[in-house]
Amino acid sequence: MPPSQFSSGDVIADRRADYARMLAEGGDFEAAAELIEQALEIVPGWAAGWFRLGEYREKGGLAAAAQAYRQVLVLEPSDVFGASLKLALLGAGSVPDRPPSRYVEGLFDDYAAKFDTALVEKLDYSVPGKLAALVAAYGPFSNVVDLGCGTGLFGAEIRDRAERLEGFDLSLNMLAKAREKDLYDHLGQADLSLSVEKSGLFSEGLGHGRADLVSAADVLMYLGSLETVFPLVTALLKPSGLFAFSVEDAGEDETFRLRDSLRYAHSELYVAALCARHGLTPVESENTVIRMDAGKPVRGILFLSRKAG
- In the chain the domains, ranked by start, together with CATH numbers, are 3-94 (1.25.40.10), 112-307 (3.40.50.150)
pTM score: 0.90
pLDDT in tens, 223-249: 999 999 999 999 999 999 999 999 999
pLDDT score for 75: 95
Q: What is the average pLDDT across 205-223? A: 95
Q: What is the pLDDT of residues 281-308, one digit of tens each?
A: 999 999 999 988 878 899 999 999 999 9
- The crossing angle, in degrees rounded to 10, of helices 65-75 and 47-59 is 160
Q: Are 125 and 291 in contact (CB under 8 A)?
A: yes
Percent of the chain with pLDDT over 70: 96
User: What CA–CA distance (Å, rounded) separates 158 from 142?
Assistant: 12
Q: How confident is residue 2, by pLDDT bands cut at 50, 70 and 90?
A: very low
Q: Give residue 286's pLDDT.
A: 95
User: What pLDDT score was predicted for residue 121?
Assistant: 66
pLDDT higher than threshold 90 for residue 113: no
